[in-house]
Amino acid sequence: MSEGTSLVRAPGSIPTPLPRWEPRRTYSWLVVTGILALIVWSSIGTRSDLRVFLHGDAWLQIWTFVRSWFPPDLSGDFVRRSLWSGVETIAVSLMGMVLAILIALPLGILSSRTVLTISPVGEPHPASALLRLLRGLVYWVSTLSLNVLRSIPEVFWALMFILAAGLGPFAGVLALGVHTGGVLGKLFSEVFENVDAQPIETLHATGARAGAVVLYGYLPLALPHLISYTLYRWEVTIRAAAIIGVVGAGGIGREIYVAISLFHYQRLATLLLMTLIVVSLVDYLSAWLRPR
């Protein structure tokens, strides 16, 4: 064997380390692969085929339908009725948000582990086993309640409340309030979970009671995020308010349903324009309020 090709390692030499196996990287690749496989499966299951838009017949059908909207019905009586429906939609969404906040705030607090325990970081809470069990039960019930409220769509809530309260905007207020309360409650819980612990720990160290820690600690720290999420959900709720009217829960959705049922597409164009105006007004108002 020639010089320089000895298989015996020289004394004191450092062996080349083997590449380290990183479980986190492997897990990330598995997650990405799983998501891509799920997308492919969903595409096959929904028969998604964009090639249908390559044919002129598809665009012709769309254009024929849209052309039937024009000119919009701008008669005085119908425009006044559309304006009132738009105002009613805003009122339904606004009252629904008030109800949603009343539901979301207490359930958001009770479904947040950090608020429910209220103990300094790194120190175990000196609670008895019975108290810990009670807190766990409260957390479980609150979390389950939020899951139920937000899992049922607004339309189904509207149908249930129509049976109880009758046709009209009040059923829409209840439907939007209950569903949005579940969504906001989950968001509020996440906000409380991520509040800076240092001010809370300082307040707790002064001997403040649980209620004072929540009122003077968690709420002021979380308030900017709570307001931001609330305004965002109002933008979503105004769109939902226009939809639940289709089942008789008031607002502009009722007029849209009537126009579609009677093939009054020119009136439908007016109503869609009114919906666009209402949604845009709420979006601009929300954007103006958010930084303040």
Asked whether the predicted pLDDT for residue 123 surpasses 50, the reply is no
Per-residue model confidence (pLDDT) at position 130:
75
CA 86, 93, 163, 165 torsion-angle sign: negative
Closest CA to 248 of 94, 99, 88: 88
Higher pLDDT, 37 or 251: 37
Asked whether the predicted pLDDT for residue 197 surpasses 80, the reply is no
Cβ-in-10-Å burial (0-12, 13-18, 19+) of 158 comes to buried
Gap between the terminal Cα atoms of the chain: 82
Domain ranges of the chain: 75-289
| 124 — pLDDT class (breaks 50, 70, 90) | very low
Q: What is the mean pLDDT of the chain?
A: 82
Which listed CATH number (3.50.50.60, 1.10.3720.10, 1.20.120.80, 3.30.1120.80) goes with 75-289?
A: 1.10.3720.10
Q: pLDDT tens across 226-274, in order?
A: 888 898 888 888 888 888 888 888 788 888 888 888 889 999 999 999 8
Asked whether the predicted pLDDT for residue 211 surpasses 90, the reply is no
Higher pLDDT, 56 or 71: 71
